[in-house]
């Protein structure tokens, strides 16, 4: 997945790629709402022409051990 931090109100990408691209090209833009509650399973919230909003579950262990981009999530 391509996961970006998103400004929830404006719904615009302002982060970096966090994960490898997913296989389905129709889902190639996945955005992440950063000011939601900390832990969510990945659920498609909204799909528009260019953006797909998903909730992502991120465990504390993943926050600590993953690449530095995850620090801000």
Task: Tell me how far apart the alpha carbons of residues 12 and 6 are, in angstroms, rounded to a whole number.
Answer: 5
The reply to whether the predicted model has a pTM over 0.85 is no
Q: What is the pLDDT of residues 23-57, one digit of tens each?
A: 443 343 444 444 444 434 444 555 555 555 555 55
pLDDT at 48: 58
Residue 16 banded pLDDT, cuts 50, 70, 90: very low
User: Which helix (H) or strand (E) is 60 found in, with range?
Assistant: helix 60-65
pLDDT in tens, 2-12: 455 454 545 44
Gap between the Cα atoms of 63 and 59, Å rounded: 6
What is the model's pLDDT at position 49?
54
């Amino acid at each position: 997945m391509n996961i970006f931090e998103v400004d929830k109100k404006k719904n615009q990408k302002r982060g970096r790629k966090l994960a490898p691209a997913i296989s389905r090209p129709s889902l190639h833009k996945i955005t992440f709402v950063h000011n939601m509650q900390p832990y969510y399973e990945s659920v498609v919230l909204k799909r528009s022409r260019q953006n797909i909003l998903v909730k992502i579950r991120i465990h504390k262990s993943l926050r600590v051990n993953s690449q530095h981009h995850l620090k801000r999530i």
